[in-house]
Amino acid sequence: MRIEKDSMGEMQVPDEALWGAQTQRAADNFPISDLRFQRQFIRSLGMLKMAAAEVNKDLNGLDKDLADAVASAAKEVSEGSLDEHFVVDIFQTGSGTSTNMNANEVIANRAIQILGGDVGTKNVHPNDHVNRGQSSNDVIPSVMQLAAAEMISNDLIPALNNLKDSFENKSKEFWSIVKTGRTHLQDATPIRLGQEFLGYAGQMHRSVDRLTNAVNELTELPLGGTAVGTGIGSEPEFASKVCSILSEQTGLNVRETTNHFQAQNTLNIVVQSSSAVNTLAVSLLKIANDIRWLGSGPRAGFGELLLPEVQPGSSIMPGKVNPVIAESVCQAAVQVMGNHLTVTLADSQGSNFELNVMMPVAAYNFIQSIALLVAEADNFRLKCIDGIVATEKGPESVEAGLAICTALAPVIGYDNAAAIAKEAAKTGETIREVSRRMTDLTEEELERILDPGKMTETGITEK
């Protein structure tokens, strides 16, 4: 062990650790869970500290050699080679100060090593040098937003575009298949199987639009507001220059907020962006459930789709295969919904006066949600959607369905069409069979009016 000091006194720290006294206090104070900030968060934190060192050097705030060492150490943090030294629990101080200081201490001590000094000597100071021009109160929300924006832009949106393409390909493949539609879990007018899949593609397309808007919101960073939004302790140009560097590194439109007070005293932007992720989860849950139901059976269910068989489904029933990929999607979706509630509550209950004090738990849940949906979108596409095959059960149900009487209503009137449907339900006959004896329509007219394919198109059938 070695002795490290902070403003409260001495702390014993393991010799091999790059963190210092404040991190050790936090590790001792919060032995709560096994949850730590994700790689994406630590990556963005390192990127911000590296950019800050470069700007502080340019603004004559830091000696060149010292600043370069800090930037090199921060780069190592960003690249992941120092992850083992980030030891603070998610359930910590609500501002995330412990994690910010964890980064400051690790970067300072690693910079000391780079300069040839001894760890713990404070030749590079975690506050005076690494944290120069910053506060935990503007760093942690900025890192949260930057990490989320990069994940959405680089990972989630591409995954959704790929999934959308798969749905569109299946839509084209299944376009000729006319089946019974369902509303209220009851038979409805015919629909093309391709139209159902076109609806799934449309949900992904609109999710991408919402997420694109979220990225634009997230890249307006609170950095520069320091403690309470006033910017005390930071050069006026500091934040804008850091954001410019981050823009170059990420390819995103990273910029300083135009209103630091709103940016720091709420997590509204995070809640709004999490809502877009939550909406995507709702869509994926709906689609996965539809596909589970349409693939149910194979003999006692709908059986309109054959899903790829990826693993045995039962430890007791030989030959049983379950829709496990869709089930995985559903479970991840409800996890995301729970995470969104956590993010919402963190903003509503943690935003008091000039600062939100539930940032770590909000950041962890938001980032987890994005990562889950990236993985599920890719897995759903590769192991389920791309391999789906349509059966004959969908088309076979159309002629026997009662809802095709809807096409008769413009010709013989709603009440007469309803009477035919009720008669067919009572006798077990088809709508076509009952129409032959309850109307004066010819066979040719019935053939044209009760054409299922025509019923999937806009318009009114006339006699």
Q: Where are the domains positioned within the chain?
A: 2-132, 138-232+260-393, 401-455
Does 462 or 27 have the greater pLDDT score?
27
The Cα–Cα gap between 322 and 309 comes to 8
The pLDDT value recorded for residue 460 is 63
pLDDT digits (tens, 9 = 90+) for 25-78: 999 999 999 999 999 999 999 999 999 999 999 998 899 999 999 999 999 999
The Cα–Cα gap between 205 and 202 comes to 5
Say if domain 138-232+260-393 classifies as CATH 3.60.20.30: no
The Cα–Cα gap between 168 and 205 comes to 11
Strands 178-183 and 186-192: antiparallel
pLDDT digits (tens, 9 = 90+) for 246-282: 999 999 999 999 999 999 999 999 999 999 999 999 9
User: In this structure, what token pair is assigned to residue 163?
Assistant: 């999934």
What's the average model confidence in pLDDT over 431-456? 94
Report the candidate in 348, 321, 150 with the shortest Cα–Cα distance to residue 251: 150
pLDDT digits (tens, 9 = 90+) for 98-132: 999 999 999 999 999 999 999 999 999 999 999 99
The residue whose two tokens read 């599920």 is 376
Residues whose CB is less than 8 angstroms from the CB of residue 174 and which lie 6 or more positions away in sequence, other chains included? 192, 193, 194, 196, 197, 390
* Cβ-count burial 316-338 (b if 16+ within 10 Å, e if not): eeeeebbbbbbebbbebbebbbe
Number of C-alpha atoms within 13 angstroms, CB side, residue 43? 15
* CATH architecture for the domain at 401-455: Orthogonal Bundle (1.10)
Name the band, by pLDDT with cuts 50, 70 and 90, for residue 462: low
Report the candidate in 161, 174, 156, 173 with the shortest Cα–Cα distance to residue 201: 161
pLDDT digits (tens, 9 = 90+) for 362-412: 999 999 999 999 999 999 999 999 999 999 999 999 999 999 999 999 999
Distances 442 to 24, 278, 437, 439, 460 between C-alpha atoms, Å: 88, 53, 10, 9, 19
Give CA angle at 274 (272, 279), nearest 5°.
Answer: 95
SS3 of 2, please?
strand
Rg over alpha carbons for the chain, rounded to the nearest Å, is 30
pLDDT digits (tens, 9 = 90+) for 275-291: 999 999 999 999 999 99
The Cα–Cα gap between 202 and 199 comes to 5
Count each helix (H run) and each strand (E run) in the chain, helices first: 18, 10
SS3 of 383, please?
helix
The Cα–Cα gap between 196 and 284 comes to 14
Q: Is the pLDDT of residue 315 over 90?
A: no
The residue whose two tokens read 């680089």 is 154
Say if domain 2-132 classifies as CATH 1.10.275.10: yes
User: In this structure, what token pair is assigned to residue 87?
Assistant: 């030891």
Please say whether the beta carbons of 420 and 438 come within 8 A: yes
Residue 9 backbone phi and psi in degrees, to 5 = 130, -155
Terminal C-alpha separation, the chain: 93
Name the band, by pLDDT with cuts 50, 70 and 90, for residue 314: confident
Q: Is the pLDDT of residue 191 over 60?
A: yes
The pLDDT value recorded for residue 171 is 98
DSSP class of residue 462 equals -
The pLDDT value recorded for residue 458 is 82
- Which residues are part of the catalytic machinery? 184, 314
DSSP-assigned states of every residue in 254-271:
-EE-S-HHHHHH--HHHH
Please say whether the beta carbons of 53 and 71 come within 8 A: yes
* Cβ-count burial 65-82 (b if 16+ within 10 Å, e if not): ebbbbbbbbbbbbbeeeb
Angle of helix 268-294 relative to helix 136-151, nearest 10 degrees? 30
The residue whose two tokens read 């993985």 is 375
Please say whether the beta carbons of 431 and 400 come within 8 A: no
The pLDDT value recorded for residue 142 is 98
Name the band, by pLDDT with cuts 50, 70 and 90, for residue 440: very high
Q: Is the pLDDT of residue 461 over 70?
A: no
The pLDDT value recorded for residue 62 is 93
Taking residue 127's Cβ as centre, other Cβ atoms within 10 Å add up to 16
Region of 271 on the Ramachandran plot (φ > 0 left; ψ -120 to 50 alpha; else beta) = alpha
The Cα–Cα gap between 33 and 14 comes to 21
pTM for this prediction: 0.95
